[in-house]
A = this chain, B = another copy of it.
């Protein structure tokens, strides 16, 4: 299997954007090419685009070809759009990764893009119901918040996790986002603000939830040889794992605070990389809701089962702690443009492992992890290292 590395990365401004899908693709694509002066659009052999619902919000499918045209890429090896709800971007990275690892391509761009705030705000929420089972779940009006609320209820009941501990995830990530000019929110949040924000689904309050965000992100993946020719600081893909327990809520572990699929996905990635949770310097975890970040600490092995509340309260997931979680602000602070999220996480790991993260730099970051869920029973983990 060939080595594979990130050699470039760029993100658009995230937020409620006055922009089309194409505008966002241009913005992230340009940022990515600007990070890699040795690569022009004509050099790129393949393009994979992670995107969930252009069919609904822009009445547009076939978004990979649209993006190739917009960026002037003429794929000669690989062209695809990937969708796996909130994990779509990382699933796209894995497509490009496998192609390069198998020796089928040498230089592939992966771009994630979503324009959710369109055509109208309340249609945007309705559209989010496409992520759960239409017939048995979405028909009742289910979207993501009540799903994760079930996990939060259970985590509080079983382990004594407090509303304040949930809120501290929101505080941390909103605070991190103040150092990220591309974040959706850049004003930070205090504990009081989070605890007094309006209730979405008990016990999850507004500032414990990721917003509905537009944005795009892009990374360039290269084979080992090409990567070394393009940069003296490639960021290597060291491991990956994906696992599913099930799709419907009623197929998952009976205890909604247990996410065995995440444990399996992380285990596969750690084994492949030959590392363990203690080796991780920074982790971009999928804090679609504060409870997801807490359970991720546990299933990723950063702390024991049930101890995530005290872990965040002690600052162990912040600068100066065991592992810096979500330095760019996470989904809560940066926003969550579905297809773009996994790619933006990879872009963050890229700048962190190269020491280019500026005010939010994690000191001496050598190993970075990204995690996405697309439901409590569906997880994907990537490990990136400064060394091959």
Chain A residues within CB distance 8 Å of chain B: 1, 20, 22, 52-53, 55-56, 58-66, 68-69, 74-85, 91, 94-95, 98-99, 101-104, 129-135, 138, 240, 242-248, 251, 264, 268, 374-375, 378
Contacts and interface: CB of A to CB of B under 8 A. Distances in A.
B102 A1 contact: yes
A62 to B, nearest CB: 4
A55 B56 contact: yes
A77 B265 CA distance: 8
A242 B76 CA distance: 6
Contacts of A22: 135
B58 A134 contact: yes
A191 B242 CA distance: 52
Contacts of A85: 61-62, 65
Contacts of A63: 83
A134 to B, nearest CB: 4
Q: Which 3 A-B pairs have the closest CB atoms?
A: A61-B130, A98-B98, A69-B247
A20 B65 CA distance: 28
Given A64-B83, A64-B84, A80-B84, 6 more contacts: A53-B55, A55-B56, A60-B138, A62-B130, A62-B247, A80-B95
Oligomer copy total: 2
Nearest to A80: B91
B247 A374 contact: no
A97 to B, nearest CB: 8
Contacts of A94: 78, 80, 99
A72 to B, nearest CB: 10
Name A's interface SS.
Answer: mixed
Contacts of A69: 133, 246-248, 251
A66 B133 contact: yes
19 contacts: A56-B56, A58-B134, A60-B130, A60-B134, A61-B131, A62-B84, A62-B130, A62-B375, A64-B84, A74-B243, A74-B245, A75-B242, A79-B91, A79-B242, A79-B244, A80-B83, A80-B84, A81-B82, A83-B83
Contacts of A104: 1, 98, 101, 240
Nearest to A78: B242
A347 to B, nearest CB: 20
Contact of A65 (B1, B129, B378): B378
Contact of A244 (B53, B65, B131): B65
A74 B130 CA distance: 21
Contacts of A74: 243-246
A155 to B, nearest CB: 23
Nearest to A104: B98
Contacts of A244: 65, 68, 74-75, 79
Nearest to A86: B62
Given A22-B135, A78-B242, A101-B104, A83 B95 contact: no
Contact of A102 (B66, B98, B247): B98
A103 B1 CA distance: 7
Given A75-B242, A75-B244, A264-B76, A65 B98 contact: no
